[in-house]
Amino acid sequence: MSSKKILIVEDDADVRLGYQVLLKANHYDTFFAADSSAAVSEARKQQPDLIILDLGLPAGDGFIVLERFRGNMNLAVIPVIVVSARDLQGNKERALKAGAKAFLQKPWNDNELLELISELLGQPNIVYLATGKLHPGEP
């Protein structure tokens, strides 16, 4: 079985490295983009199985990226985990409404992220929330 491809959209190099080490150790192939336009071009190029998207990006925030993914037939089907340090309730709702499958608040822990990833890759139609717990009844 080939490795699943994960695109990480994150402008902080240290955080990118953290994702890389963790995800590589768990046998995922990782690709990176540091801003919103690179996010779209990398997603087109790599056709990842999953996208981890930081909300706070230079030159257009993560919501712009979500919008662009949504407007592209091939990209709209890829599950997106939105990650944000901004703990405003509005961000989570806005991200889920904009098409994200899950919202993870920084600082997340490794197990929480890995659990979310494997569940989303296995069951792309189920929505997860920041806790990583399943909420089957929610849209």
Interface residue list for Ca ion (CB under 5 A): 11, 54, 56
> What is the torsional sign of CA 45, 66, 57, 10?
negative
Amino acid symbol at 61: D
CB-based closest residue to Ca ion: 56
Instruction: Please answer whether residues 82 and 37 qualify as being in contact, where contact means their C-beta atoms are separated by less than 8 angstroms.
Output: no
* Closest to Ca ion by CB, 35 or 119: 35
Q: Could you tell me the smallest distance in angstroms from the CB atom of residue 40 to Ca ion?
A: 17
Instruction: Find tokens 């890829």 and name the residue.
Output: 78
* Closest to Ca ion by CB, 49 or 54: 54
Q: Could you tell me the smallest distance in angstroms from the CB atom of residue 17 to Ca ion?
A: 14
* Closest to Ca ion by CB, 9 or 127: 9
Burial track 106-139 (b if 16+ CB lie within 10 A, e otherwise) = eeeeeebbbebbebbeeeeeebbbbebeeeeeee
- What's the rounded Cα separation, in Å, for the pair 104 and 115? 12
* Closest to Ca ion by CB, 42 or 127: 42
Q: Could you tell me the smallest distance in angstroms from the CB atom of residue 76 to Ca ion?
A: 23
Q: Could you tell me the smallest distance in angstroms from the CB atom of residue 23 to Ca ion?
A: 18
